[in-house]
Structure 1
Amino acid sequence: MDVDGGGNKRVFQRLGTTSTDPKSKVCYHWRAGKCYRHPCPFLHRELPSPPTQPINGTASSKRHQAFAAEDPSAPRRAPMSSTWGRAHGGRGGNRVVRKMEKVCHYWVQGNCSYGESCKYLHSWSLGDGLSLLSQLDGHQKVVSGIALPSGSDKLYTGSKDETLRLWDCQSGQCTGVLNLGGEVGCMISEGPWIFVGLPNIVKAFNIQTNSELSLNGPVGQVYAMTVGNGLLFAGTQDGSILIWKFNAATHCFEPVTSLMGHTKAVVSLVAGANRLYSGSMDNTIKVWNLETMQCIQTLTEHTSVVMSVLCWDQFLLSCSLDKTIKVWVTSQTGNLEVTYTHNEEYGMLDLCGMHDLEGKPMLLCSVNDNSVRLYDLPSFTERGKIFSKMETRAIQIGPGGLFFTGDGTGQVKVWKLEAEAAGST
C-alpha cells in the first residue's frame, strides 16, 4: 500500500509495479466504493495479476460425485488445486466488489429520487456479468426446494406454503400448482423422478408417467435428500437417515434400512464414491460407508448446525451457522481433515458448485444476511453478490451459466452468468 504525496489520497500499488504514473495505481477510495472524483487520476479497475498456473476443477452437483469419484458425463479436467484461500491468476485474490453493499429501500419501492447518484444499489446483484433474467412470483412462504429435471422444459419449486409449482422454462409462467398438504422441507430430482420431503413422508413424482408414490417411514419433517449407489436417502427431524431402493419390477421404492447416530435433525446430505456425508443440527458431519452402512468417522470441527455439504473433486466442503465454510481432504490415515476454513460475518445456509463459462470453478453460498456470495475457487475470492428481501434457502444450477435462487419471501429468481464475467480480469 502506498500513501501518495498529495495529502490523504491513498492508492494501492500491486507488487512488481514500479511506475510512478498514477494510472499504474489503483484508487484506494474506488476500492472502498466511495470515490467521487471525476475524473480520478488513479485507476478505477484492478491491475492484472502476475500470470500463474490456471485453476482447473471438476464440479459436481450437491448430490453427485465425491472424493476422486469419476463422473463419465462431466468434462475431463485436472483436479482442483489444494492451495485453498490463496490468490491465483486471472481474476486474482485482490479483486473486490465495489459499491455500497445495500439495496436501496426506495428503489425497491419504485420511488428513489436520487437515480444513478444514489449511494445504495439499484440492483439485486453486485459484480460484473450477473444478469437477472426473471422473477417468478407465486409462493407465499419461503422456497425450500428447486428442481430442474434433465431434459425437462419445466422448473419445479417447493415451498413451506405446502405447494409445488411448475414453471414453463420458455415463458416463465406458472403452469400448475399442486397442494401437498404439508410444508416442503427439501426437493431434488433424479432422472424422471422428483422427490419432495414433507412431514412424515416423501412424495415421489414421475414426470414421464405422471405417476405418484408415497414413501412412508420418516418421523417428523424430511429436511434433506440425496441419491447415490442406486439408493435414495432422506434425513429426518428425529436424526435418522432412511434409505430406499427402486424396484423396477413392482415400480415402487422399497425400504432398505435406516442409519442411526445423529442426536438431532439431519439437515444436509451428499453421496458419492461409496460414501454418504450427513450434516446435522447436532453440529457434526457423519461419514457412512455405503457397503457396510456403518458410520466410519464423525467430524466435530463445526460449532453450530451444519447446513450444507458439497463434494467437489477429492474435497468435501461444508458450511454452518458457525459462520464458516470448511474444506476437508482425506489424510494419509484415511480420515477427513480440515485443510482450509473460510470465515464470514454471518451464518452460512447453503452451498452450490458450478463452473463459469470458461470452465473455472465457482462456489455459490447463501449467507444469513439475505445475500448469496459468489466465490472463485480455490482462492475464495469474492466475485459478486446476490441480494434478496429475505434469506435464500434454495439454489439450483441450470445449463449454460443459468442458476436459480429461492428466498424467504417465496420469490424465485432466474440468473445468468454472462460470458463477459467469465472472461474478465
Structure 2
Amino acid sequence: MIISEHRPFQSLTQTGLDSPYHSLNPRTQESTMDVEGNKRVYQRLGHQKVCFYWRAGNCNRFSCPYLHRELPPPQSIGGDAAKSKPPHGFADDQHLTSRRNPNFSSSSTWGRAGGDRVVKKTEKLCSYWVQGSCNYGDKCRFLHPWSTGDCLSLLTQLEGHQKVVSGIALPSGSDKLYTGSKDETVRVWDCQSGQCTSVINLGSEIGCMLSEGPWIFVGLPNVVKAWNTQTATDLSLNGPVGQVYTLAVGNDMLFAGSQDGTILVWKFNAAAHCFEPAASLKGHTLAVVTLVVGANRLYSGSMDHSIRVWSLETLQCIQTLTEHTSVVMSVLCWDQFLLSCSLDKTIKVWFTAQSGKLEVTYTHNEEYGVLTLCGTHDSEAKPVLLCSCNNNSVHVYDLPSFSKRGKIFAKQEVRSIQIGPGGLFFTGDGAGKVRVWKWLAETTAAS
C-alpha cells in the first residue's frame, strides 16, 4: 500500500465505516452503535490490529476501528470496565478540536504511547515543507532539512532561474559567480552579497558552462561563446552541429562535445588572443554529453553508451570502453583512476592494466540512474565524491571506500556541481535553484 506524505484532513462525515481503508468485515468483527444525543460510540470486540497511520503520526480518522496503542486491549470488554472509559476510537471534544486545528496544543496524550514518541524518518524530502506548509513539524515522517549528515551545511540559496541550471562557473580573479540555465539566461552573482548583479539573455538554451582562468565558455546550439572577464573580450566559436552539451580544456586546447556526436577542438592563439579551429574528433554515433582531461588523455562519454579515450598528443582514439549499458552521463579523473557514471545505475572505476588498457576494477551500484560526478576534498583534505542521482538527491561518498557521508536533497534533479574556494561548492537543480554549501570541520569527542 502506498501512503502519501500527508493525507488531507477530511470532514467527519467522510470518515465513517464506509471508508475503503477503515472498513469492518461483518463476518469477522462485531460492532454495536449506541446513540447518546449527538455522540456515536463504536465498540469493537477482539480487534488486534494497530493503526498504520497512527504509528506514522498522521491518523485523522474519527472512530478509527484500529488500535491507537502498541499493547493489545484486554481479552474481554464489557461490564463496568467498558463503562469506566470511552471505547477505543472515541474522540472527545478536545481531540476533535486538535484535529481541526493542527497547531492546537494540549498536554493530553490520548491515543499515544507517550506524547514524545520519536517518529522514524524516511529518506525523502517533505514536499509540504518545501512549500512552507507542513504542520507536522518534528513529528513529520519526511525530511525537513536540505541535507543529512554532519559534514556540510547550506549557506544560502540563489533564486532567479526559471528552468534547470545547466552550468556554474567561477572565473579566477573575479568576485562574481556565473550560472547558466535552459531559460536562455546567464546570471551574474556578487560573491559577497549573494545578489544577482546582471542577467544576460542569450536567446538559446544553455547546455553547459566552463571557466578556465579569466575565460568563461558557454555551450549553446551550434556555437560556443567565449568571454574574458578581465579584457571584456567576447568571441563566438562556430562549428558545432546541434546543442553543445559539454566542454573541457587541456594542453591549451578547448574541446566541445556536440549533439551530432562530434568533438570539436580549438587551439588558443596567445598572440592573436583568439581560438583557432584545430580538429574534429569523430567516432561517437550519438551526442557527446561529458568530457574530462587527465593523464594526457581526453575522455568522452556519449549517449551511445560508450567512453572513448583520446590521446592529447595525436588527437586519435586509442580505446573505446563499452561496459556501460545506458547513457554515460559523467566522467571524472581521480588519482590514477577514471570514474564514470551512467543512467544504467552504476558508477564504474577504471584502472590501467599491465596491457596499457583501461579495465573496470570496481562497480558501485545505485538505486537510481546517476547524472553527474564531482570530486573534491572535505575540510580535513579527505577525497570525497559528490554523486547526483536521478531521484533529486546528491550522495556524498568517501573515496576510495565509497562509504556514505550524507545526502543533499533538492526539489528537482541536480544537474550541475561546481567546486569553489575555501571549502565551498555549488549545486544547481532542475527547479532553477543554485545552493551554496560549505564543508564542516569534523568534531572529535573530548577524551
Whether 1:245 aligns to 2:264 is no
Whether 1:100 aligns to 2:108 is no
Whether 1:208 aligns to 2:224 is no
Question: Which residues of 2 match residues 14-413 of structure 1 at below 5 A?
Answer: 99-413=121-435
What displacement does 1:151 show? 2.7
Q: Give per-residue Cα distances to partners, 1:332-356, cap 9 Å, x unaligned.
A: 0000000000001100000000111
Residue segments in structure 2 that go unaligned for 5+ positions in a row: 1-54, 58-119
Q: Give per-residue Cα distances to partners, 1:53-105, cap 9 Å, x unaligned.
A: xxxxxxxxxxxxxxxxxxxxxxxxxxxxxxxxxxxxxxxxxxxxx94211122
What displacement does 1:150 show? 2.1
2:329 counterpart SS class = strand
Distance 2:121 2:423 in 1: 24
What displacement does 1:244 show? 0.3
Q: Give per-residue Cα distances to partners, 1:157-194, cap 9 Å, x unaligned.
A: 00001111100011110001111121110100001100
Supply the AA of the counterpart residue of 1:340.
Y
Supply the AA of the counterpart residue of 2:387.
C
Q: Is the 8 A contact 1:266 1:279 kept in 2?
A: yes
2:442 counterpart SS class = helix
2:285 counterpart SS class = coil
What displacement does 1:406 show? 0.3
Structure 1 residues 396, 315: closer, same or farther in 2, change over 3 A?
same
Residue segments in structure 1 that go unaligned for 5+ positions in a row: 1-33, 37-97
What displacement does 1:108 show? 1.6
What displacement does 1:281 show? 0.3
Supply the AA of the counterpart residue of 1:400.
G
In the TM superposition, structure 1's runs of 4+ consecutive aligned residues that sit over 2 Å from their partners are: none
1:420 counterpart SS class = coil
What displacement does 1:211 show? 1.5
Q: TM-score of the superposition, structure 1-length normalised?
A: 0.76
Distance 2:56 2:375 in 1: 34
The corresponding residue for 1:10 is none
Distance 1:325 1:250 in 2: 42
What displacement does 1:424 show? 8.2
Q: Give per-residue Cα distances to partners, 1:371-401, cap 9 Å, x unaligned.
A: 0110011111111111111100000011222
What displacement does 1:293 show? 1.2
Structure 1 range deviating more: 340-349 or 108-117: 108-117
What displacement does 1:129 show? 3.1
Q: Is the 8 A contact 2:121 2:140 kept in 1?
A: no
Q: Percent identity?
A: 76
Q: Is the 8 A contact 1:159 1:184 kept in 2?
A: yes
Structure 1 residues 388, 245: closer, same or farther in 2, change over 3 A?
same
2:332 counterpart SS class = strand
Q: Is the 8 A contact 1:143 1:406 kept in 2?
A: yes
Supply the AA of the counterpart residue of 2:428.
G
1:390 counterpart SS class = coil
1:116 counterpart SS class = helix
Supply the AA of the counterpart residue of 1:137.
E
Supply the AA of the counterpart residue of 2:216.
I
Structure 1 residues 409, 312: closer, same or farther in 2, change over 3 A?
same
1:419 counterpart SS class = coil
1:106 counterpart SS class = helix
What displacement does 1:114 show? 1.8
Supply the AA of the counterpart residue of 2:441.
A
2:425 counterpart SS class = strand
What displacement does 1:248 show? 1.7
Q: Is the 8 A contact 1:99 1:126 kept in 2?
A: no
Q: TM-score of the superposition, structure 2-length normalised?
A: 0.72
Distance 2:415 2:129 in 1: 24
Distance 2:260 2:131 in 1: 42
Supply the AA of the counterpart residue of 2:339.
L
What displacement does 1:214 show? 0.2
- Number of aligned residues: 330
Distance 1:292 1:385 in 2: 41
Q: Is the 8 A contact 2:180 2:208 kept in 1?
A: yes
The corresponding residue for 2:105 is none
Supply the AA of the counterpart residue of 1:344.
E
RMSD over equivalenced CA pairs, Å: 1.7
Structure 1 residues 397, 333: closer, same or farther in 2, change over 3 A?
same
Q: Is the 8 A contact 2:380 2:442 kept in 1?
A: no
